[in-house]
Structure 1
C-alpha cells in the first residue's frame, strides 16, 4: 500500500517543525549563555576596578602610617631592603636630637 501524498507531506512538515522548535530552544539557550558571559565579564571588570582602588587605598594608608610612625617601617619596608635615616626618624617622631 502506497502512503498517501498528504500523509507524507504532513510527516515532513512535522519533522521540519520539530527541527525549528529544537533550533529555537538552542538559540534561546545560547542567548542565555551569551548573557551569562556578559554578566561574568562585567563582574570581572568590577572586581578588577575594586582591587585597583583597594590597592591604591592601602598604599596611601601605608604612607600615612610611615609618616606618623617610621618605626612601623621595621615591620615592612626594611624587610625589602629600604632603610630610613635614623636622624630623620627622630625628627619625624618629634624628638629632634642634634647630630654630634
Structure 2
C-alpha cells in the first residue's frame, strides 16, 4: 500500500475537465507524470490514475512497463488501490481547487 503523504508529489496542475463533469489533476511523483481523474464537480469521487510518460519506462509504483503517451496512458494499479487517500490528499493540500 502506498503511503500517499510520504510520496514526493510535485508539479501539480488542477483543472476542470473538458471531457466530463469533474476535475483532472496532473502531478509528478518519482520523476514520472500521472493523471488523476475525479468525477462530479460537486460531490467528488476518484475515477482513476493513468501514467502519462513521455518515454518508455517502468512505473516505480506498479512495476508495469509503460510506453510513451498516448499509448502509455494505462492505469497505475498501485495508485488505483489508493484512490480515496489520493483524493483526500489533494482536497486537504489544495482546498481552493475543489
Normalising by the smaller structure, the TM-score range is under 0.3
Question: TM-score, normalized by length of structure 1?
Answer: 0.19
Greater percentage in helix: 1
Greater percentage in strand: 2
| Bigger relative CO (Cα 8 Å, ≥ 6 apart) | 2
